[in-house]
Amino acid sequence: MLTSERSLCDRVELVKGQTTAIIDEIIGSLPNSKRLTDSERRGIIARYTSVLEGNFIYWMTATAIAARSPQSQPILLDNLYDEVHDAHPHMMRKFALAANAFPTDKDFMALHDDLTRMRLFMGKLMPVRSVLAMAFFEGFIQKFMAYLADLAMELNSNELEYTDVHGVCDIEHTEGLYKVLAAELALAPSEPEEGLFEGVILLRTLIEQIMQPEYEPQAEHIAGLRNGSARLATSGARG
Ligand SMILES: [Fe+2]
């Protein structure tokens, strides 16, 4: 193996290790699902659904548009094929509805600012950062599935197709995304370390908001957002 290939492999392994450590830290800090109230369980499923149902395919598509290496496209399209062919958004909705946890306007709006930041980040179409963000997201989703299934079962649902499928297929998807990361880094060997985890950090913040929103959106804030006259982030929220 050439020295440049060796250093690329080392760099991907290093980044993968750092990303996995962040995922494991989040999973390790999840509250005990048995000790949550039904309202808290419903809220987590609802906010998770409000992000995943409408944004996952969109962000993977953004990553496919951003990627530049010929090796990246087949892997990313294969991931999107599964999402579309097996109708994962439908699977997500079925899961939430069966747990009586379909998101309300408050659930959507509790994540408004952090979701907007993530959407704007994806719009910058930065290949390496986007791919790393999606590798993190797939890896997190896969490890989060057992917990999400526990929440649904605590809410007396046995509709677990979404969590069953994503606990398994995302292992392969995550590995594929690290191959894409290697291919994209090979085209951008001078990609700076600084900022590499930009999307990962935004997603981590979004996940933290899913688990425990910093504020409960009030009706007047939602109304303000509708007519464009106010931002949701007020007291106690991130600026
Ligand atoms: Fe999916």
Fold of 43-189+207-226: Heme Oxygenase; Chain A (1.20.910)
Q: What local confidence, expressed as pLDDT, does residue 161 receive? A: 97
Ligand 1 centroid – CA 217 distance (Å): 28
Ligand 1 centroid – CA 192 distance (Å): 30
Q: Cβ contacts of residue 176 below 8 Å, gap of 6+? A: 75, 78, 79
pLDDT of 76 strictly over 60:
yes
Confidence of residue 236 (pLDDT cuts 50, 70, 90): very low
Ligand 1 centroid – CA 166 distance (Å): 6
Confidence of residue 239 (pLDDT cuts 50, 70, 90): very low
Rounded-to-integer distance, Cα 173 and Cα 88, Å? 14
Pair 69, 184: CB distance under 8 Å: yes
Which residue did the predictor score with more confidence, 40 or 10?
40
pLDDT of 234 strictly over 80:
no
Ligand 1 centroid – CA 107 distance (Å): 21
Compute the average pLDDT of residues 24-33. 96
Instruction: Please provide the average confidence, as pLDDT, over all residues in the chain.
Output: 90
Ligand 1 centroid – CA 2 distance (Å): 36
Nearest by Cα to 42 from 210, 230, 217, 228: 210
Confidence of residue 174 (pLDDT cuts 50, 70, 90): confident
Q: What local confidence, expressed as pLDDT, does residue 1 receive? A: 55
Q: Cβ contacts of residue 23 below 8 Å, gap of 6+? A: 136, 139, 140, 143
Q: What local confidence, expressed as pLDDT, does residue 171 receive? A: 75
Q: Cβ contacts of residue 122 below 8 Å, gap of 6+? A: 58, 59, 62, 63, 130, 133, 199
Ligand 1 centroid – CA 56 distance (Å): 7
Ligand 1 centroid – CA 138 distance (Å): 9
**Does this model's pTM top 0.95?**
no
Ligand 1 centroid – CA 222 distance (Å): 29
At residue 69, φ and ψ (nearest 5 deg) are -80, 140
Confidence of residue 238 (pLDDT cuts 50, 70, 90): very low
pLDDT of 111 strictly over 50:
yes
User: Where do the structural domains in the chain lie, given as residue ranges?
Assistant: 43-189+207-226
